Amino acid sequence: MFKFLLVLAVLSVALSARILEEDKHTHLNFDDIMKVVNQAGSTWVAGIPTRWANATHADVKMSLGTIMPEEEGYEGPESIRSTFRDSSIPENFDVRTNWPECAAVTGHVRDQSSCGSCWAFGSTEAFNDRYCIRSGDASTLFSPEDTAACCSGLSCSMSQGCNGGQPAGAWKWFQKTGVVSGGDFSNMGDGSSCQPYSLQACAHHVAPTGDMVACDSLPEFPTPKCTKECETNYGVSFEKDKHFATGSYGIKGTENMQKELMEKGTLSVAFTVYEDFEAYTGGIYQHKTGKSLGGHAVKMVGWGVENGTPYWTCINSWNDTWGEQGAFRILRGSNECGIEGSVVAGDA
């Protein structure tokens, strides 16, 4: 019993103690970052993000929230898929164009708001993409809110909503509990899904435009309450709206990741965010300077080569005003920032 309680304590602390006292007083130096990154021959471009121009490490860490394999408390997938179809690997591939009938789902860019729920988005979105690819249902969006609010405790690798979590735990939860439908904040109250995301979308890194508010104008959101009911004007019960995965597993190795993407679609991946990533505006990211800020989970949809540099294509959950219309590219083949070492997928 003591060992069991100790494991629980370690997992809980690993997720919740991301922000240290020194983080509250340490600022990011974007002038220095830009000097290092924006040199001749660089594969990406750094800029000064409006939101983080005067930010501390503590401010930035609120948008992260995933444990990486080398960190205490990490729980990886229970099995690894190692057998794939014998097929040639093309130079370029993208889930969004390979299954065009699902582009409305696979290419949809979401917004986690001021909440460290990236783990819930990176997992729920990947499952959603795979569900569309298998079923042809391009009208149903799955609910990151259901995942963030209700996937917790031992059944979810001790994930803690806005305080962080683990994609592998979420995928196991998809098998056992399932996830309901859920659109974006803009869908609140329109009856189009069971549990749309209740935290307001905001301008990540960039100046707010139109009716989009600045993220730093919003409060630090607590984890939404886990409720077992849908919006009142949605015509399906919570229990009947659940969608279940039929399996989950990890993927090891660049070629296996590529084969998995070609066979079944989107992957859940995690990587270490360094200070310079917060200055990313476009191009093929590779870490150049700055300290580690924490783990971040996203979905991976493909790969390619540009000017001889191989890359992965990933979609973030900081809305489509960030990066390359909500996406980013990152160096492929060298486990850049750990992105090839924390890969989870499953069967829809």
Which is the catalytic residue, given 57, 102, 115, 118? Answer: 118
- The yes-or-no answer on residue 118 being catalytic is yes
CB 251 within 8 A of CB 267: yes
CB 89 within 8 A of CB 161: no
Burial level of 34, CB count in 10 A (0-12/13-18/19+)? middle
Which is the catalytic residue, given 156, 316, 319, 337? Answer: 316
- Which has the closest alpha carbon to 271: 64, 104, 133? 64
- The yes-or-no answer on residue 296 being catalytic is yes
Which is the catalytic residue, given 296, 314, 319, 337? Answer: 296
- The yes-or-no answer on residue 204 being catalytic is no
Catalytic center residues: 118, 296, 316
